[in-house]
Chain A
Amino acid sequence: MALLSMQEILDRSHESGKPFWEIVLEDDMEERQVTRETSMAKMLSVWQAMKDASDSYTGRRRSVSGLVGGEGMKMRQYNMRHDSLSGGYIGDVIAEALSMGESNACMCRIVAAPTAGACGVLPAVLLPLNKYEEVSQHQILEALYVASGIGAVIAYKGSIAGAAGGCQAEIGTASAMAAGALVALRGGSGEQICHAVAMNIANLMGLVCDPIAGLVEVPCVKRNVIGAMNAVSCADMALAGCESQVPVDEVIDAMDEVGRRMPVEFRETALGGLAATPTGRAVKAKMEELRLKNT
């Protein structure tokens, strides 16, 4: 049985007395016909791939267009001066989101979560945690199951593709997944996970997909930062007891509707938004020239 709604996961959690993450794990065991150990081993390999991607970042690579590269390193160096506005964990989250987004644009190995363009959001909120608090590997795996369950529900009820639902479907979904993961890591309840996801999606609703020259570079890399920031703030709000006034499944439906009615210019076609600015058009013309030269 697939994960069809957040309420369904909550209901199954209440009926069985098992936590949110375990419902997602059991669903995977059922869906792919694997044992608990096999499923968890695969999730661990996903986590390892995220860590490896982060560790191999050097800041030296540049994307094909030359628009992207090196800014994750700038942020890391800035953080080391200890006078950033955000400071500590938040500063690290920003640096990690930038680095991972850049790594993707520069053809390094990453984990799509849920997409390659949004690959920085979830690892950005999880990877720096170890520096600030004791987090066990099992807790991380639990958080990753929560995140993937949230992503699966959004994919089922709506879309996780920019071409179908705009950037809200990519960075927005990644952000919702990261928010739920953080709430779970801090021992929040299933209800709190749902409130965090609902507030999170509402905050990024309507975000358009407007990549310059159609490349996963600008504004994609930096949008990973807003996705991660939104996740941290919504997780904190949910853990503080703040609630979404609209139930999470209704918020996801609203996001789906906004995506469907979004003009095609704002759905990864590179015809609107930043892509249609004079600068965006100039980059596109330059890439076209390069292409004709190479073929």
Chain B
Amino acid sequence: MDIFDILGPVMVGPSSSHTAGAVRIGLMARTLLGTEPVRANIHLHGSFAETGMGHGTDKALVAGLLGMKPDDLRIPNSFEVAQEQGFAFHFDTRELRDAHPNTAMICVYDKNDKRLEIQASSLGGGRIKVNKIDGIAVDFSGDYNTLVIRNLDYYSSEAAVTTILNQFRINIANMSMWRQKRGGESLMIIETDQHVSPQQVEFIGTLPGVVAITYYDKEDKDDGSTVDAGNP
């Protein structure tokens, strides 16, 4: 937390957790899908389900899925924007086990029916935490640039990725891995200090053992708050 978490974020009201955080969750789902979403099923849990409507949580989640940031003045009208852009969505409430009170589960699809399921919580102050991707438990915040890599679970194929990051002069801030079963696919979350360029992301995607890759670029990169010296 820095002083601009105290004076900030600049956001559309009324609630940093129920509105700004909800926009970020929608945006995270969109980014991790990696292509233009055309429809989504959104399940609200806990306080999101109970007081979400009064806080515009529903509008905020759709706004994020449409690519808006938390300070976008179109957030109150996101349902209309969705209709204009042909984006379909459906809301319901769902009791999720052991979930934070402010949690949403989003199933988002692109036009080719590529699907991503994400479960994320809003922690307050606009900060979020991703809890699950496609049913696999994860834990990251979007406070860093984040690589989400699906790779084959054999011979430590993640080593190929970290070696390349070293050569790109990109520092790993946090890293974690989960697999559902031995020899299947595993999910690797790498949070980095530097931005990763689209070409670099594409290159990592071609490495042996890497099945799929998506990249979440931390907001605010134009404010210069990230040391980029190693990654021109």
Contacts and interface: CB of A to CB of B under 8 A. Distances in A.
B11 A109 contact: yes
A229 B109 CA distance: 50
B14 A31 contact: no
Contacts of A38: 223-225
B225 A33 contact: yes
A147 B4 CA distance: 11
B6 interface: yes
Main secondary structure of the interface of B (DSSP, over half): mixed
Given A24-B3, A287-B54, A112 B8 contact: yes
B51 to A, nearest CB: 4
* Chain A interface residue number, banded: 35 or more
A42 B223 contact: yes
Contacts of B91: 295
B54 A148 contact: no
Given A119-B13, A214-B50, A216-B14, A155 B225 contact: no
Given A33-B227, A38-B223, A46 B10 contact: yes
B86 interface: no
Interface stretch (A4-12, A75-83, A99-107, A256-264): A99-107
A155 B14 contact: no
Contact of A216 (B50, B53, B55, B59): B55
A291 to B, nearest CB: 5
A294 interface: yes
A155 B6 contact: yes
A57 to B, nearest CB: 12
B10 A217 contact: no
A72 interface: no
A254 interface: no
* Chain B interface residue number, banded: 35 or more
Nearest to A151: B6
B76 interface: yes
B54 A109 contact: no
Given A111-B8, A147-B7, A116 B15 contact: yes
Interface string A205-243: 000000001111100000000000000000000000000
Contacts of B219: none
Contact of B7 (A64, A111, A216, A291): A111
Across the A-B interface, give the 9 residue pairs with the lowest CB-CB distance, nearest first.
Answer: A104-B13, A151-B6, A148-B3, A214-B51, A216-B14, A107-B76, A49-B10, A215-B54, A32-B225
20 contacts: A24-B3, A34-B223, A38-B223, A38-B224, A106-B14, A107-B13, A108-B12, A111-B7, A111-B8, A113-B8, A114-B7, A114-B125, A147-B7, A155-B5, A160-B6, A161-B125, A177-B6, A213-B51, A213-B54, A216-B55
